[in-house]
Amino acid sequence: MIDPAGGALGAAELDTAVAELAKSYDAEAGGFGASPKFPTSMVLEFLLRNADRTGSQQALDLVSGTCEAMARGGMYDQLSGGFARYSVDRFWRVPHFEKMLYDNGQRLRVYLHWWRQTGSPLAERVVRETGRFLIDELQTPEGGFASALDADSDGHEGTFYVFNPNQLMRTLGVEDGAWAAQLLGVTGPGTFERGFSTLQLQADPDDPQRWADVRAELLAVRAERTRPARDDKVVASWNGLAISALAEAGVLLDEPDFVAAAIKAAELAGRRPPGRQVRADVARRRRRSELRRAGRSRLSG
CATH, residue 238 = 1.50.10.10
Query: Is 126:76 a contact under the CB 8 Å cutoff?
Result: yes
Per-10-residue mean pLDDT, the chain, length 301: 64 91 96 91 97 96 98 97 96 97 97 98 98 98 97 94 98 98 97 96 96 98 97 96 98 98 92 51 51 47 41
Q: Is residue 292 part of a domain?
A: no
Q: Is residue 32 part of a domain?
A: yes
Q: Is residue 269 part of a domain?
A: yes
Res 298: pLDDT: 40
What is the C-alpha separation between 133 and 101, in angstroms, rounded?
A: 10
Q: Is residue 203 part of a domain?
A: no
**CA nearest neighbour of 225 among 136, 141, 130, 156:** 156
**CA nearest neighbour of 81 among 149, 30, 140, 146:** 149
Q: Is residue 198 part of a domain?
A: no
Q: Is residue 214 part of a domain?
A: no
**Cα R_g (the chain), whole angstroms:** 21
Domain count, the chain: 1
Q: Is residue 229 part of a domain?
A: yes
Residue 99 DSSP class: E
**Cα–Cα distances in Å, from 196 out to 155, 173, 192, 248, 257?**
15, 18, 6, 37, 35
- Asked, as a colleague might, if the bond just before 4 is cis with ω within 30 of 0, I would say no
Exposed, middle or buried by CB within 10 Å (0-12, 13-18, 19+), for 25? middle
Q: Is residue 262 part of a domain?
A: yes
pTM value is 0.87
Res 11: pLDDT: 85
Res 299: pLDDT: 40
What is the C-alpha separation between 79 and 76, in angstroms, rounded?
A: 9
Residue 2 DSSP class: B
Sign, Cα dihedral of 259, 265, 271, 275 = negative
Query: Which residues span the domain enclosing 155?
Result: 13-160+225-284
**CA nearest neighbour of 111 among 87, 161, 76:** 76
Res 9: pLDDT: 75
